[in-house]
Chain A
Amino acid sequence: MNTLTETIRLVPMNHYILLCTALFCIGVLGVLTRRNAIVLFMSIELMLNAVNLLLASFSVFRNDASGQVFVFFIMAVAAAEVAVGLAIIVMIYRNAKTIDVDLMNKLKW
């Protein structure tokens, strides 16, 4: 375990920030390009994970455990969000027989 945790002494903080930025941008790309509501949700999970990883790495960088506690709360909120969101998707599929977000335009005026 010691040799494993020694490794991050060799990784600059910048690289964590760049990794999380790239991961977040991939999530944004998924939300912009895909039309399948479930894949949209997965892209949102990607963005949440990017933020979680950044919070955890800053928490280690600053020697402050609050960041990791915050990641824990974000995970709880993400779980609640996915449960409700997927229930809504199932309900929409039951009514509209599709989960294509382009076809869900009933609320458009």
Chain B
Amino acid sequence: MIQYLFYFLSFIVLASAAMVVIAKNPVHSVLYLVLTLFGVACHYILLNAQFLFAVQVIVYAGAIMVLFLFVIMLLNLNDASETVKSPYGKLISIIAFGLLLITLVGALRSTAESPVMELNDTSIGLVKNLGIVLFRDFLLPFEMSSILLLSAMVGAVLLAKKEKAKA
């Protein structure tokens, strides 16, 4: 009975992801995206990946969404700002999407029924275990990612800064 939670969450994730693409107003898109990201975070809980759940909520639903909303408010976008694409191009993109979906789902369905997921080691996604793996096996990539974030921050500030009028 309780495994229907997985299908319920999947439905929420897919429906709100579709609404992100469909919604005309970018602010609505952002709010549906928050719902999608929370759905994915709940999937992480089902997988007992508690660390990923926390990071997903903090980084995606917190930081990245605030960034999106701020930019939308900064640019003062409304639904009229998006030019209507020709229906011809839209039709082609929808056909391409349908072909991609059919190909992938068809290819994946033809594989043999896979075994069910099993949590043999329930501690795998806990903060303690992941911290040990992160700082023992992946210490160099971890430090590199901090440099990446620093350079991205510097780059974002540099790009967003108003250019000085040339003297």
Distance in Å from the Cβ of B152 to the closest Cβ of chain A?
Answer: 3
Contact assessment for A26 and B47 in the assembled complex, using a CB-CB cutoff below 8 Å: no
Distance in Å from the Cβ of A72 to the closest Cβ of chain B?
Answer: 6
Contact assessment for B125 and A68 in the assembled complex, using a CB-CB cutoff below 8 Å: yes
By size class, the interface of chain A is 35 or more
Alpha-carbon distance between A63 and B133 when the two chains are bound, in angstroms: 13
By size class, the interface of chain B is 35 or more
Contact assessment for A69 and B36 in the assembled complex, using a CB-CB cutoff below 8 Å: no
Contact assessment for A30 and B21 in the assembled complex, using a CB-CB cutoff below 8 Å: yes
User: Which B residues, 78 to 103, have Cβ-Cβ distances below 8 Å to chain A?
Assistant: 81-83, 85, 90, 93-94, 96-97, 100-101
Question: Given A3, A32, A72, which contacts B96 in the complex, CB threshold below 8 Å?
Answer: A32
* Residues in A neighbouring B71, C-beta threshold 8 A: 38, 86, 89-90
Contact assessment for A11 and B6 in the assembled complex, using a CB-CB cutoff below 8 Å: yes
Alpha-carbon distance between A5 and B60 when the two chains are bound, in angstroms: 23
State whether A100 and B81 are in contact (beta carbons under 8 Å apart), knowing that A25-B104, A69-B138 are contacts in the complex: yes
* Residues in B neighbouring A41, C-beta threshold 8 A: 68
Contact assessment for A77 and B148 in the assembled complex, using a CB-CB cutoff below 8 Å: yes
Distance in Å from the Cβ of A5 to the closest Cβ of chain B?
Answer: 5
* Residues in A neighbouring B3, C-beta threshold 8 A: 7-8, 10-11
Contact assessment for B149 and A76 in the assembled complex, using a CB-CB cutoff below 8 Å: yes
Question: Given B13, B75, B153, which contacts A99 in the complex, CB threshold below 8 Å?
Answer: B75
Alpha-carbon distance between A27 and B66 when the two chains are bound, in angstroms: 20
User: Which A residues, 44 to 83, have Cβ-Cβ distances below 8 Å to chain B?
Assistant: 45-46, 49, 52-53, 56-57, 59-61, 63-66, 68-69, 71-73, 75-83
List of 8 A-B pairs having minimum Cβ-Cβ separation, nearest first = A80-B152, A32-B93, A10-B3, A87-B159, A30-B21, A13-B114, A87-B156, A29-B97
Could you list 9 A-B pairs, sorted by A, with CB under 8 Å?
A: A9-B118, A14-B108, A27-B17, A45-B60, A49-B37, A53-B44, A65-B130, A66-B133, A76-B149
**B→A interface (CB under 8 Å):** 2-3, 5-7, 10, 13-14, 17-18, 20-21, 26, 29-30, 33, 36-37, 40, 43-49, 51-52, 55-56, 59-60, 63-64, 67-68, 71-72, 74-75, 77, 81-83, 85, 90, 93-94, 96-97, 100-101, 104-105, 108-109, 111, 113-122, 124-125, 129-130, 133-134, 137-138, 141-142, 145, 148-149, 151-153, 155-157, 159-160, 162
